[in-house]
Amino acid sequence: MHAVTLIKGDGIGPSIMDEAVKIINASGAKIQWEEAYAGMAAFEKFGTPLPDETMESIDKTRLAFKGPLTTGVGGTGFRSINVALRQKYDLYANVRPAKNWPGVKTRFDNVDIVIVRENTEGLYAGLEHYLTPKKDIAESLAVVTRAGSERIIEYAFKYAQDNHRKKVTVCHKANILKYTQGLFLDVAREIAPKYPDIQYDEKIIDAACMHMVMDPTQFDVIVCTNMFGDILSDLTAGLVGGLGLIPGANIGNDAALFEAVHGSAPDITGKNLANPTAVIMAGVMMLNHLGEHDAADKIQKAVEKVVNEGTFVTPDLNPQSKCGTVEMGDAIVKAMG
């Protein structure tokens, strides 16, 4: 049995996580769920967005399966619990694969991009403050370390090697941010020659965005600092059919957390419209991480069948569809046989 901390999250979180758990339980994977709370749901229940009980559970399981958490915009509300969890458990590698689904019509075919995002440093280090009592000057510090850059860039090349990928592209802004981005790029240039079988490329982030929307097939594995990776992964999601499809793994040396790339989607909460595919595929990544490959394959094949047939899918994939989150989950369970 694998003990997993289950955090259903906010907004659409509980509805999609219920489907994912139903499917994982039906797959034969040996998971023992420990339910815990974080985000708004935890704040309402315990008066804090990250209760001690939740940390105690992850301290023990070292593994979390998490729905999206709502974070207030701007200076109001609490700091992002997602960022806090990534930093506390040192989940330095955020892996976000985006691949075309044959049944989902998009502008480009053959998109198959994996973003490897540094997850603990950069502009999301949380070092922000106002410089004046009037709060009319604000400052944010981007922290890039040699050690942090080395481990994420090594991770990207190793990932490329282990997964038979051909190329790693570093996306950076070292022309302007000569120290923080410059350090990241220097480290990439040092590490790349250690992997002669993997093609190495560099692109300035703004040009990378233009190249990506003109011909995404030129990208394979991309490695970048925290905020660029966050933004680029929503862009890659858009290229293959939207946020409802893209999972993410947050990996550290002795803990891991699996979730969707998307957020709590307040605009569709409570309407049975949310696509559960992203969190289900995050579950597939988690099962593979645990060595539960048979269960992972079974779920992946069933999801591919349902998504590619395009009938029992949520309206983000097929605007004519009257199918909701629950019905799509049921169709995936049925497709597992």
Report the nearest approach of ligand NAD to the CB of residue 276 (Å): 7
- Tell me the closest approach of the beta carbon of residue 199 to ligand NAD, in angstroms: 31
- Concatenated DSSP letters for 141-186? EEE--HHHHHHHHHHHHHHHHHTT--EEEEEE-TTTSTTHHHHHHH
Give the pair of three-digit tokens for residue 87: 């930093």
CB of 197 to ligand NAD, least distance (A): 33
Q: Which is nearer to ligand NAD, 254 or 267 (CB)?
A: 267
**Residues contributing to the site for ligand NAD (CB under 6 A):** 12, 16, 68-71, 82, 243-244, 259, 262-268, 274-275, 278, 316
- Write down the catalytic residue from 8, 124, 298, 316: 124
Which is nearest to 263 in space by CA: 243, 237, 285, 241?
A: 243
Nearest residue to ligand NAD on Cβ basis: 263
Given 59, 206, 215, 294, the catalytic residue: 206
Scan for tokens 């942090």, then name that residue.
148
- Of the candidates 156, 177, 178, the one whose C-alpha atom is nearest the C-alpha of residue 168 is 156
User: Is 22 marked active-site?
Assistant: no
- Shortest distance, position 327 Cβ to ligand NAD, whole Å: 14
Q: Which is nearer to ligand NAD, 265 or 302 (CB)?
A: 265
Instruction: Check if the beta carbon of residue 203 is closer than 8 Å to that of residue 174.
Output: no
Tokens of 171: 């996306």
Based on CB atoms, which residue is closest to ligand NAD, 38 or 113?
38
Among residues 10, 37, 89, 173, the one annotated as catalytic is 173
Distance of CA 150 to the CA centre of its chain: 21
Nearer to ligand NAD, 19 or 34 (CB): 19
Residues with Cβ within 8 Å of 9's Cβ and at least 6 positions away in sequence, in order, are 17, 38, 39, 41, 66, 67, 68, 69, 264
Q: Which residues contact 315 (CB under 8 A, 6 or more apart)?
A: 273, 321, 323
Which of 68/216 has CB closer to ligand NAD? 68
Write the CA distances from 24 to 61, 123, 141, 205, 279, integer angstroms. 18, 35, 41, 37, 11
Q: 37, 89, 159, 230: which one is catalytic?
A: 230
Query: Is 173 annotated as catalytic?
Result: yes
| Structure token pair of residue 234 | 């929503």
**Cβ 268 to ligand NAD, closest distance in Å?**
4
Q: Identify whether 230 is a catalytic site residue.
A: yes
The verdict on whether 200 is a catalytic residue reads no
| Positions marked catalytic | 124, 173, 206, 230
